[in-house]
Structures are given as C-alpha cells and as structure tokens.
Chains A and B, each alone.
Chain A
C-alpha cells in the first residue's frame, strides 16, 4: 500500500539540529500524498488563528507531498496544543498541525498520529512579523521534517502582466499575495529573471524602443541598462553564481545564444552559430549547460549546449513544437520542464535527460505555457493563457491552483526564502 510505505520510510540523521526526520518517499500518485490535518485553533487570538489555518492549508496543499484534509470531518475537540490521536486516526489523518496564537507569540506543534501524544516538532515564533510570514516559516519546517528539503513558502514569483498596449514586470509572493510592479514604466516589459540571490530581476524593456536588457532591484526601483545591442537583448537567464547572463542577441541579424557579463553586458562567449533561430536560454543549476530553443531541425525544439560551447544536442523528441525550457533545481538531477504543443493545446511537461522519463504536468485545462520551478523542485508555476498564473505539483499529481488572475506570461520563480 502506498501510504503505508510513507510511514515506513527510512529515517535520516540531519546535520542541522541532530534530530531525526522521517523522509517522505511519496510515490507521485494522488493516494500517496501524506494526509495532514490543520484544525483551526479555537483558543487564544482567534482572528489570527483563522488566518494561520488558511495560510498553512494553502502552503502544505501546494507543497507537493501532502493532502490537506477537509476540516468538516474533524472529530477531535481537544483544546490547546494537545491531540487525541485516536480521533485523528478516525478521520484518516497521519499528521496533525496544532498551534496557538497569543498577542506575543505563535506556538506550533506537529504530531504524527502513529506516535501518539508527543509532538514530533515544536516551534514558537514571536509575533514580530505578520502571521503569514510566521506561518510560512513553520510550514517550511514541516516540509523539512518530512522531506529533508527546504520548503518554498515565502519565496517570490515574477511574471509579465499584460495590459492594454503595455506589459509590466510584476513580482508577488509564491501564493499570489502582495503583488507589485517592478518595471514601473508604461512601456512594454517582458521576460523577468530573478538573480540567484533574489535581490535583482533582469528583464527586457522597450522603454527606449529597442528591446534592451535591464537589471532592476527586485523590490522595484531604477533599472540599470545591461545590454543594448542592436536588435534583441532578451530571455536572460542567470548563471548560478550571479555573475553572468545567458541571453538571446540578434546584433548580427539572426537570433543567437550568448553569455554576457551581468554587470556591464560585455560578451563573454557566443554559444550558437546557426542560420536557424536560437532563443530562450536557461542556465542549468550545476552551471555547466545551457538549454535553449532552436528550429534548426524544423519546428522549435529544446537543445542543450555546454557553457564552453560545442555542438548543441536536441533533447526534446516529442511532437513538433517545444519551447521555454527551465531546469529543475534539484541537485544531481537533469530534468527540464518545457511547453509542448500537443494537437491544438499547449501543456507543461518535464523530461528527465538521464532516464528519458517524461511527466505531463498539465492536461485538459486551458493553454499552459512557460514553466518555472519552485526552488526545491517540488512545484511548477506557469501561465495559463487568459487566466493567470498557476501552481502545480511537479510530479503531475493533483490539480493546479490559481495564484494570480489576469493575462500573464513569462513566469519566473525566485530563490528559496531566507530561513
């Protein structure tokens, strides 16, 4: 049984605090998701308690490993931070999050029902920041406890919001809250890319008519012009060390992939020399490769080339139209998500370059384009044409969740939040 395997998963010693954590070996099927209950706290600051339950339910729901149980089924009326394990067994919960918010602090507990009344994890946060931030931090602890990975709650997503005759670069929290304009001009601004530190966003703007590349503070503010070659300066992707950018330039007439300096735009290396169109570069997390789109063999397909140059290798083999590659950030893995056209619809797929295994992330729901990975590789954000920005589990399970409504393109996910 799949869920049984979850509980029987191996234990690992963790270097950070020396305690043990159960590693979730979620199989990728819907039934394999770990059922967790987050009852609304009914004592202490009840207004804050409702917000905390809402935020925690959203966070753990999109984490890619949990199934958040319907609170309508709950039977345990135990007050405070304790639980009655049998009552949680009765509603099918494996894990239970309890918390109590007071004016000074929020105390959280994570219980594993099979382990009885002793909490597996306890954290208290002073109420200095807002309860959303506190709840995101707690949910990151829960994800870390079960998976050993850093959660993505508290990270940010940038995208291009299309208006009438203009388009702006927006950034927002990963759950769609606190959206703001980064570009702050009335021109056309496209293709945002977070720097690895999260402090800057590179994007292409037509504010001086030519599509030039700028880098702006992620919080908004005056952009610095980095590359203003004749023709396109688009599709920036940062090197993992943040010192260089892979971009598409068409200064010699045809779109080619280049590596340039992130500080002054000086060309470091030209990676492609083909009469076909080469565009949409994506720097691999190990720093060694660039994926890009080329129509040199007919329709647009995904190619990979080493940062040192060489002959690009076609990696996508399905269908006749594949674009917008994005590398999974998972260390040791070589997985690329991209947009594929299948019949008349556009969907997100992932392709493991080593095993050739392909996973369909979206299906039968709208036109889905431009995937961006969560910093831990568990989720993928993408744009659904005419509808907005969505989050989906990277393993293709579950249903995509809308986080921003409107006409959006060019989605890019920022780095993991500071702990």
Chain B
C-alpha cells in the first residue's frame, strides 16, 4: 500500500489550474427572495410585501432579523453588529449550510441591509435568503405616487386624446 506523498518535483503538472475560477466563485453572493408566511422568529417586523417563492420548511431555519431600530437578532437572540461576523463564522450550522435567512423591516435604509449582507459574505455565507410577506402583486402605485406625484400617475394611466 502506498502511503501518499513524496512525488518527484520534476513531473509536469497537466491538471487545469482552477485557482482563478475559485476566486471568481468566492465573490459571488447568491441572493433569493422568499415568502415566509408561517415563520415566527419572535422579532416584530414589518416585512416588504412582494411576490416571491414560498419557503420550504418554515420551522427550524436560522434567521437574521433586522428591526426598525437597527437592532439585530440571530435566531431571535439579540446580538451586536460587532459580534455578528464572529457569531456567523463560529456557527457550525451556518458554515455547513453556507446559507442564511435574512428578514429586515420594510422601512430600513438600503445601507443597513447591505451592511448585514456584507458581514454575512465576509463570514463565508454564500447564499442569503431575503424573507418577504406574501403578496399576489407588486404594489407599484404607491411608489410612483411618492416619486412622481399623483398627477404623473394619472398621466400614464390615461393617455391624452389625439393619440
């Protein structure tokens, strides 16, 4: 029986060098949007209501919750933003699944949610599942109302005569 090791240093290496590909893979953070009607992490949040896939097995997922006041909870236990990376890195389940479920209050600034995702990525989480409330349609009217004003919406909905 050969006990490994000790190959000659002069042999040509004919294998494909995969290192550059691995580098590319590592910077990819895969993000899914998921509806979780049954999930209860004990943290009170107003989740964005958008159309999304239903979660399988709503029980037993490890969820990172970000509340309206920027407080964060991992599995319902409040932790500090500073501890988040270590908590995720040391977590055997997160590292095994390389996945994390995130729920953030709908009113939170974009920057806060991105910060949490950046920390997750640094902690070697490769898949982030963004939890949402179930909805059949995307509610775009309200957004346009605030961005363009009510008159603008009317203009797009009712085209002027002479068209």
Contact = CB atoms under 8 A, between A and B. Distances in A.
Interface string B103-128: 00000000000000000000000000
A353 interface: no
Given A349-B3, A360-B3, A72 B86 contact: yes
Contacts of B75: 75, 86-87, 90-91
A67 B87 CA distance: 17
Interface string B75-92: 111010000001111111
A89 interface: yes
Given A86-B60, A90-B62, A92-B96, A70 B90 contact: yes
B3 A73 contact: no
A317 B2 CA distance: 10
A90 B89 CA distance: 13
Contacts of A90: 62, 74-75, 91, 93
A75 B74 contact: yes
Interface stretch (A154-162, A199-207, A297-305, A339-347): A339-347
Among A73, A77, A87, find the residue whose CB has the most chain B CB atoms closer than 10 A: A73
A334 to B, nearest CB: 17
Contacts, number: 73
A75 B92 contact: no
A89 to B, nearest CB: 6
Given A67-B92, A93-B92, A342 B1 contact: no
A317 B76 CA distance: 58
Contacts of B93: 89-92
Contacts of B62: 90
B4 A360 contact: yes
A86 B86 CA distance: 20
Contacts of B5: 342-343, 345, 363-364
Interface in B9-67: 60, 62
B92 A318 contact: no
A73 B5 CA distance: 36
B1 A69 contact: no
Interface string A59-86: 0000000010111110111000000001
Given A75-B74, A75-B77, A86-B60, A92 B92 contact: yes
B77 A318 contact: no
B77 A340 contact: no
B6 interface: yes
Contacts of B96: 92
A87 B92 contact: no
Interface string A84-105: 0011011111000000000000
Given A73-B92, A91-B93, A92-B93, A363 B4 contact: yes
Interface residues of B, number: 24
A363 B4 CA distance: 9
Nearest to A342: B3
B90 A77 contact: no
Contacts of B95: 92
A340 B5 CA distance: 14
B3 A347 contact: yes
A35 B3 contact: no
A319 interface: yes
A92, A340, A343, A364: which has the most chain B beta carbons within 10 Å? Answer: A92
A358 interface: yes
Contacts of A72: 86-87, 89-90
B1 A318 contact: yes
Interface string A292-325: 0000000000000000000000000111000000
Interface in A334-391: 340, 342-343, 345, 347, 349, 358, 360, 363-364
A73 B1 contact: no
Interface in A41-74: 67, 69-73
Nearest to B77: A75
Contacts of A77: 77
A76 B77 contact: yes
Contacts of A69: 90, 92
A71 to B, nearest CB: 8
Contacts of A70: 90, 92
B155 to A, nearest CB: 51
- B74, B89, B91, B96 — most chain A CB neighbours (10 Å): B91
The 8 closest A-B pairs by CB, nearest first: A92-B92, A92-B93, A73-B90, A90-B75, A70-B90, A72-B90, A73-B91, A75-B77
Interface of A: 35, 67, 69-73, 75-77, 86-87, 89-93, 317-319, 340, 342-343, 345, 347, 349, 358, 360, 363-364
Interface of B: 1-6, 60, 62, 74-77, 79, 86-96
Given A75-B76, A75-B79, A92-B95, 5 more contacts: A75-B75, A87-B76, A90-B91, A317-B1, A360-B3
8 contacts: A72-B86, A73-B86, A75-B75, A92-B94, A92-B96, A318-B1, A343-B6, A364-B5
